[in-house]
Amino acid sequence: MNDLIKLIQDLNIPPEKFQELATAMQQNPFAAMGMIQQLGISTDVLQKIMATVMTNPAALLDAAKQFGVGDETLAQVQSHLGKLGDFPKE
């Protein structure tokens, strides 16, 4: 299991909420910040998640697949993260 999946599972938030969050991040990042607060994701945990994604962007794709994020959203995330460089293309 990758570190990102472990961090997400430790939050005990239903996968459908993460799907909603992923969609909100694509459509309205400011609204997504409100969702992060509503879900009770602390700043410390959010920083750990971001650090994990920055050091291993592929972990986000793996986590998204495991939590059932749709193909269209996965493609958008992959496109955005591809700008970080060295993000695996499928």
Q: Confirm whether 58 is domain-assigned.
A: yes
One DSSP character per residue, the chain reads --HHHHHHHHTT--HHHHHHHHHHHHH-HHHHHHHHHHTT--HHHHHHHHHHHHH-HHHHHHHHHHTT--HHHHHHHHHHHHTTS-PPP-
Q: Confirm whether 49 is domain-assigned.
A: yes
Range of the domain at 27: 3-82
Quick: pLDDT tens for 29-62. 888 888 888 988 898 988 988 888 788 877 877 8
What is the pLDDT at residue 44? 92
Q: How many domains does the chain have?
A: 1
